[in-house]
A and B are shown apart, each in its own frame.
Chain A
């Protein structure tokens, strides 16, 4: 569960949400996607993540989180602020409660796209995990976060939306 302490967020129950959140009435032309490459590194046991987002979305989301206008190009503590945002919205946890700590590696932000790189601690032994990517759900009801998970020699793609956002997968060693 995402836990935010910002004052502009309300915790409300599922009952209140009903069917209204994912209104299709949003203006049609901007569409909202992100793409994540996740690879399990059996040597370290960690998940190595490259997350590609539309920088305008990132700027908007961070501005909202910080409750001020943020310009990514001029932000002195860009890594810290990106990490704070992503840590709340991108999770990989095992069903046995292992791992899950996010370690920031860096970011490449240009006009066209922003790549965010980070590791999430895992386990060197193969096991069962759940991945959860909720970036920009607070901005866009039509947000679609595509996640490609590579573990061993297999690749799987998940599409995380407000409606479907947690995906189980298995880590395994290459054959």
Chain B
């Protein structure tokens, strides 16, 4: 319907301002030019140009390739001297279009040379006090040489030595002949190194010694010379291993023969190929039972593990494992291990979920570890793809939390008396979910961790949050909820998520919490669960066993959801802006009915609301001259322009007659018009979510998409038309957007109280939790741990 705008005027019913009345200047201007940052600028200029390897849709292109590297390894663990001896044959297939004249291998153990770059590049704290343990670790690191000794490097076909050059944690092997596209080269490497005490020289790998029983647990990772990745994006990815940026690896098939003392139990990436030679009949029977069990069953019972602690090995035994399509290989070995297992079907595929832990992990580990693995496989598979490997293992040892294909190392243990706090319990469940979850990112969706930590840690932490919330109601997840990240988001010393791993300030928040929270917001608030889940699953499906880069993720999420998210990636991943939207003003307007009875009454009411000035008030009692001479008063002394005159009525009647029926109905409607000004204080554009509370006590939530900011990203004004008047408004009522300052999210404004003040105000109020704890403590005599 065409409104006769010249007639249907809106007029301000009353200015109702929050902070200050912000004039409706719609464009920040400088020298007359529009100078706002373009928050919706397309990302094309930042993303690499699509090509035959990676398409503009974010999928692998028709010419996508990746190298194939297979390993055949013999490794021996020397439990007497804590040394590892290895011998491998590597088969390298060049699937690239390039001819290679040399290969680069990673020698991660060289980070434990006393003069390694990691040691030399680490900066000093200037701290003037330290604990014995820190000092001990420091002194050990000065003298302990855990670097790798290469004792042989030969062409496997000729057995002739190969030229090689070691560059800190990298090794270049010069090929006897250039390796053409499609060609294969086989070569052998022998090596050995001293294993670090992971309690003193911490890392992702090493041994733990138990002085009470004289035994060791070995968690072995980054233990063999393995190929650097050669990719269409970076060529050789041989950025030095400095400790933080993790691993960039090639997919391949492995056969690994692990020789350990005869009484050791080995947990490893892959499927055990020779159970008849290394397991007892009873253990094999129990593994069969585990295939049909509903709950984990012991393969090595706690009693048997305890007996093993005092056994003497009868020579050595070799455990043979085979793993296909993995990007790495890790194992753990000890005579202390308790072992439990249960088979679980993911899709149609059986997976043996298993845990290995010493008695020091009990009773926590047998209760939760394997269950946590099964739960992780269920949830992650639902959001990505069915877990493709035959086993999934969690091992307790000295490493706090680290992931490898099919196997991960997790640290939490109960107290020595077997009690544990709720924090230890949830800490264990969370770390197992996280590390098992890494099977999906980056073990299978094989990202470049050395360059982009967020691509595995961020995505994995996001799925960890979803999994934790499905473990039990109200699970105390540390990361994921937008409100939990506001402290970081509002801070000043930040770099964007899209920053190389080694240069990340605030590594944890930037690589883990911020991307995880961003994805949660993208899912809940921007795209909705249905669209997000479809797109995320599509990304996982496209890049399963392949190597995506950041652009592939950004593009796929847009391609599959059908939503332009460039503003979202730009704001959350390429900038350090934060979310702080503010209600800057609320104005109520009414339709000018043109009816003099209505309008003049309204204006009179308004006039009555105007404050009387001080002088006017004080002058009131003074005698007035015209009162003494009433003859001086004329028409104008009595005239009130807001009186309704016959002329007014006549004009109104003519006006009404000129309207059509529809226009007349509109004029008489009782709609309420509001102009709401929202200011973008933090810089990050986000949807505007307003909860309106009406004067009649009801409420409703209105949501406007982030695109509301696309012409002006600093201040917008939204006109909303309502059936009833508003009493109050809350911006982002359910804390969806990580808004760092809630103090400006209210109309009428609320006085912002600091958390400190709120706590101080409330501390004398009863605390039901404390009272319950006191009652429980009294009932149990104040003793004992949580069971």
Contacts and interface: CB of A to CB of B under 8 A. Distances in A.
A17 B125 contact: yes
Interface in A101-130: 105-106, 108, 110-113, 115, 117
Contacts of B487: 35, 37, 52, 146, 148
Contact of A14 (B128, B203, B415, B505): B128
Listed from nearest, the 8 A-B pairs whose CB atoms lie closest are A31-B508, A24-B243, A162-B125, A111-B476, A29-B401, A35-B487, A27-B400, A157-B491
B184 interface: no
Contacts of B243: 23-26, 28
8 contacts: A10-B130, A20-B138, A23-B243, A26-B202, A32-B508, A39-B756, A48-B757, A158-B493
B122 A22 contact: yes
A18 B134 CA distance: 13
B422 interface: yes
Nearest to A26: B202
B127 A48 contact: no
A54 B756 contact: no
B122 A19 contact: yes
Given A32-B508, A39-B754, A50-B756, 13 more contacts: A17-B127, A23-B122, A25-B203, A28-B246, A33-B488, A35-B487, A48-B756, A64-B131, A72-B421, A73-B786, A105-B760, A144-B506, A159-B493
Interface stretch (B16-24, B27-35, B340-348, B426-434): B426-434
Nearest to B453: A28
Contacts of A115: 755, 759
Contacts of A48: 754, 756-757, 760
Given A22-B122, A28-B246, A112 B507 contact: no
Contacts of B757: 48
Contacts of A54: 478
Given A28-B204, A50-B755, A163 B785 contact: no
A30 B242 CA distance: 17
Contacts of A52: 487
Contacts of B423: 55-56, 59, 72, 111
Given A23-B119, A27-B401, A111 B422 contact: yes
A90 interface: no
A163 B427 contact: no
A25 B427 contact: no
A74 interface: yes
A86 B655 CA distance: 76
Interface in B405-433: 411, 415, 421-424, 426-427, 431
B734 interface: no
A17 B130 contact: yes
Contact of A23 (B118, B131, B415): B118
Interface in B709-766: 754-757, 759-760, 763
B528 to A, nearest CB: 27
Nearest to A27: B400
Nearest to B399: A27
A96 B201 CA distance: 43
A74 to B, nearest CB: 7
A21 interface: yes
B142 interface: yes
B427 to A, nearest CB: 6
Interface string A138-163: 10011010101010000111110011
B477 to A, nearest CB: 7
Interface of A: 1-2, 4, 8-14, 16-33, 35, 37, 39, 48-50, 52, 54-56, 59, 64, 69, 71-74, 105-106, 108, 110-113, 115, 117, 137-138, 141-142, 144, 146, 148, 150, 155-159, 162-163
B202 A10 contact: no
Nearest to A146: B491
Contact of B508 (A13, A33, A72): A33
B129 A2 contact: yes
Given A18-B124, A33-B508, A56-B427, A10 B490 contact: no
B760 to A, nearest CB: 6
B141 interface: yes
B505 A21 contact: no
Contact of B124 (A17, A59, A106): A17
B516 interface: no
A110 B244 CA distance: 30
A2 to B, nearest CB: 6
A31 B507 contact: yes
B304 to A, nearest CB: 29
A66 to B, nearest CB: 14
Interface in B365-381: none
Most buried by B among A14, A16, A27, A73: A27
A130 to B, nearest CB: 15
Contacts of A50: 754-756, 759
Given A14-B126, A25-B202, A138-B131, A30 B401 contact: yes
A73 B411 CA distance: 22
B759 A148 contact: no
A157 B135 CA distance: 31
A128 to B, nearest CB: 20
Contacts of B508: 31-33, 144
